[in-house]
Structure 1
Amino acid sequence: MKVIDKIKKAEAENRFFWSFEYFPPKTPQGVQNLYDRMERMQRLGPEFIDVTWGAGGTSSELTTEMVATAQSVYGLETMMHLTCTNMEVSKIDTALKAAKECGCQNILALRGDPPKGQLNWESCENGFSHAEDLVRYIRKQYGDYFCIAVAGHPEGHIDNPDKEDDLLQLKKKVDAGADLIVTQLFFDVEMFLDFVKRCRDIGITCPILPGVLPIQNYNGLKRVISFNNNHVPQKIWDDLEPIKDDDAAVKEYGINLTIEFIRRFWEAGILGFHIYTFNLERSTRIILERLNLVPSLDQIKPLPWNPALTSKRAKENVRPIFWKNRTKSYIQRTETWDEFPNGRWGDSRSPAFGELDGWGVSLKYPTTECLNMWGKPETIDDIALLFAKYCKGSLAGIPWSAQQLDAETETIRQRLAAINLLGYLTINSQPAVNGAKSSHKIYGWGPKDGYVFQKAYLEFFISPERLDDIIKKISKDPQVTYFAVNRQGDFRTNAQSDQPNAVTWGVFPGKEIVQPTIVEPMAFMAWKDEAFELWNEWAHIYDRESPSAKLILDIANNWYLINIVHNDFQDEGGIWRLFDLEIDGEISRKLRQSLVSAQR
């Protein structure tokens, strides 16, 4: 959707709105951490986000990847920066094509800063000299497809000492086809309000979003304002002087100052604002919380997972649970589907999943980080301990999940850790939920005044010796169904059909029952290839002949992947009774060991 349409809708409804800016990090781990942060900050309800573009396209590939990921994986309406710096027309064409292909309909057209090490800005051969030219070109090539934003400079552009002429240059950008203006950061609200008035006086009628930067630390503020020689009122310097060496106090001051700015915008009738997050989360979250702007769940979480903002997936409202912790891989492997499950499942289960490649089987962490986290396990107990530590929250990630466990697992965290120590290596789970309100802070999703349900679910790797034992236990409980498969494709199940089994659903006023998460065999068989391949990726960080690599590859080649569903969602502890005797036995064994040690 075009941002200008969202802004017009918000203004018509007389409601406040806000947006966030991010920049591409320099390391793969930084990118993964930012994706996790973007997912969390999605819950703060931004109308859109934008992603910056390095001078001369230095971060172009990462920028376009981040835009595509934000749109498809996290359901965030995204605006892509695009600059003229060192960008010949062919590069601009490539960038615009990539934006359109991933469903992005929003471009922030900029002249851009000089490349690193170059003092003055110069146009390149076969490129553009001004943002106005870029705006006009986009309109010529794509008509009304893109919403185009341009930058406004309340203090005047640093390269144009004539403020009145600078304002006329801004009007030229708008007249060339820009839909809205996003200002560069500033710290003088009255100067910004005067800028808006002067814009209106010369006939600029489009929305003008003020860009605000919560101050994070004293030296950081001095560095930021040095880029464009921003004016900071003396009162702010005076306020900061006694606390400038206390970063926590400076952050708190920055939060309160930004809140003052936003309230002043509102007094002047300006409903929206744009936060320069600098990829940080805390200050932005606190600002929105203190202004009582964080939206309710029904506004930001229509399903248990984030719907993709691409027209192709517009009707998708069902996904297999197996990719719960690897959403981007699922998006990538199904991007060529002609249609997506729409609640009836039907034929949209039949298209083949895409091949494993690229992002789908990466560990998400560089090798050194993997070694720091996982060490060099040499026994099954070593690996079991790593999985248990992850479940307890003391390990950042495992190959099957690069982020911490969801909040919903808090009620089962200790049990997960316990069964991992027994050698059941869990990679996915959810607790049973019997009619939680759709507004519930942890379990809630969907429209307000509804109720949501979940069946208890566990997925783990199991040794072939233990597989028969767990299947015997499952056979004694008619409420339990399972799928198990090894790398070679030996498939076992007690399910009576290959039809999907809904493991989450919601009941809402005036709607049919929504069943957005399922377990079904076809998707499980596609998932097992990826799940086992991740063992290989883990083994690759070690020397092939090392004990660690041999151990991990032995698990990959011989163990089974099993998922278990306890279909009685009212029985919260039902799935755990499959393991209780073993857990009790392990506790008893440790007690006996402790007694023996004490006697010695």
Structure 2
Amino acid sequence: MRVIEHLAKAQGPLFSYEIVPPPRGRSVKDIIEVVKVLAPLEPPWIDVTSHSSTTYYQEKLDGSIQKRTLRKRPGTLGICGIIQNRFKIDTVAHILCLGFSREETEDALIELSFLGIENVLALRGDMPNFQKPARMDRTTNSYAADLVAQIRDLNEGRFLDELDRADALGFCVGVAGYPEKHFEAPSLKLDIMNLKKKVDAGADYVVTQMFFDNQKYYAFVEACREAGITVPIIPGIKILKSANQLKSVPKNFYIDLPDTLAEEVHQNPQHAEEIGKRWAQKQAEDLLNSGAPGVHFYVLNDVHSVAEIVRKIK
């Protein structure tokens, strides 16, 4: 089922989840164990992130330096197929612009369609630390709006090459929104204008970057509506788990932590996890009571804390 259909048919609180493929070389069993914890919660869908290749340098035994380029977390398509077909839970595959050609993207979308997957999240992706030169016979999407447009073309049966009797694909397309603005955007107003371009290109819904202050989400939704964005905007939240995350979360995700939360964790670092769970539960309850279409949890490696909160709310 498509995400927008889940949203339309929801009879109670709707909770979705986002998980990360295991590092290269690790078993898919790690992800299966995470999904086993989430499955009893009856998730309408689970997002699976995608990662482009990165470059790193490795010192060899002879003292020389070897340059390596690889995807540290491959497997998005396969994991989506496992979740969708083994657990019968709809999945949202993340699709990136950067690091992939339009031809590679088309192939990936065809494979997802073969697996019965109907939902994708279209993202530009973080700037990789290396730029793979595009082949002369390949093309690229520069921005998420371009990627959304390509997916919409495929939904209407328009492929990169003319194909005889080609079947149209049927993807529901989500895009990302940033209540505290994307770190590269000069202002929140301009960032919302860019979000509208993605919606105008054909996006069906928006899921937000994590935030810890619900007022920022409410203000963001209001600004989006004033800009003419009418699609559902799903709030994304994460559980703060340790005192170390007081520094790492703002640094890595370009967001602010409320003073009340930061001070409580700073003064009681040994109780950081309990404080974080209590804060996230209050956030989720307030969002749902205020009419949010659902709550999207960034699970990462903290599935048991997320499951505990969702059970309490349900």
2:186 paired with 1:161? yes
Please give the alpha-carbon distance, in whole angstroms, between the structure 1 residues aligned to 2:145 and 2:9. Answer: 27
Aligned positions of 1:118-197 closer than 5 A: 126-143=139-156, 145-197=170-222
Deviation of 1:225 after TM superposition, in Å, equals: 2.0
Runs of 5+ consecutive residues of structure 1 not aligned to the other structure? 294-600
Deviations 1:194-223 (A, max 9, x none): 000111111111111100001111213421
1:545 counterpart residue number: none
2:4 counterpart residue number: 4
Aligned positions of 1:92-111 closer than 5 A: 92-111=105-124
Deviation of 1:59 after TM superposition, in Å, equals: 6.0
Please give the alpha-carbon distance, in whole angstroms, between the structure 1 residues aligned to 2:192 and 2:91. Answer: 27
Deviation of 1:9 after TM superposition, in Å, equals: 1.1
1:258 is paired with a residue whose SS is: helix
Structure-2 change in CA distance of 1:158 and 1:107 (3 Å):
same
Deviation of 1:250 after TM superposition, in Å, equals: 1.1
Q: Which residue of 214, 227, 231 corresponds with 2:239?
A: 214
Structure-2 change in CA distance of 1:239 and 1:89 (3 Å):
same
Structure-2 change in CA distance of 1:107 and 1:34 (3 Å):
same
Deviation of 1:27 after TM superposition, in Å, equals: 5.0
Runs of 5+ consecutive residues of structure 2 not aligned to the other structure? 54-69, 157-168
Please give the alpha-carbon distance, in whole angstroms, between the structure 2 residues aligned to 1:38 and 1:27. Answer: 19
1:100 is paired with a residue whose SS is: helix
Aligned positions of 1:7-406 closer than 5 A: 7-10=7-10, 13=11, 15-56=12-53, 58=71, 61-115=74-128, 117=129, 126-143=139-156, 145-244=170-269, 246=270, 249-291=271-313, 293=314
Greater CA radius of gyration, 1 or 2?
A: 1
Aligned partner letter, 1:234 = D
Contact 1:51 1:79 in 2 (8 A): yes
1:161 is paired with a residue whose SS is: coil
Query: In percent, how many aligned pairs have the same letter?
Result: 32
1:569 counterpart residue number: none
TM-score by structure 1 length? 0.45
1:346 counterpart residue number: none
1:210 is paired with a residue whose SS is: strand
Deviation of 1:151 after TM superposition, in Å, equals: 0.2
2:296 is paired with a residue whose SS is: strand
Please give the alpha-carbon distance, in whole angstroms, between the structure 1 residues aligned to 2:52 and 2:4. Answer: 26
Please give the alpha-carbon distance, in whole angstroms, between the structure 2 residues aligned to 1:59 and 1:135. Answer: 25
Deviation of 1:28 after TM superposition, in Å, equals: 4.9
Contact 1:53 1:81 in 2 (8 A): yes
Contact 2:98 2:126 in 1 (8 A): yes
1:55 is paired with a residue whose SS is: coil
TM-score by structure 2 length? 0.85
Contact 2:7 2:293 in 1 (8 A): no
Contact 1:85 1:122 in 2 (8 A): no
**CA root-mean-square deviation:** 2.0
Aligned partner letter, 1:22 = I
Please give the alpha-carbon distance, in whole angstroms, between the structure 2 residues aligned to 1:30 and 1:188. Answer: 36
Deviation of 1:123 after TM superposition, in Å, equals: 9.3
Contact 1:34 1:279 in 2 (8 A): no
1:184 is paired with a residue whose SS is: strand
Please give the alpha-carbon distance, in whole angstroms, between the structure 2 residues aligned to 1:59 and 1:179. Answer: 30
Deviation of 1:39 after TM superposition, in Å, equals: 1.9
Contact 1:55 1:114 in 2 (8 A): no
Please give the alpha-carbon distance, in whole angstroms, between the structure 2 residues aligned to 1:82 and 1:237. Answer: 34
2:122 is paired with a residue whose SS is: strand
2:284 is paired with a residue whose SS is: helix
Deviation of 1:32 after TM superposition, in Å, equals: 0.7
Deviations 1:420-447 (A, max 9, x none): xxxxxxxxxxxxxxxxxxxxxxxxxxxx
Deviation of 1:148 after TM superposition, in Å, equals: 0.2
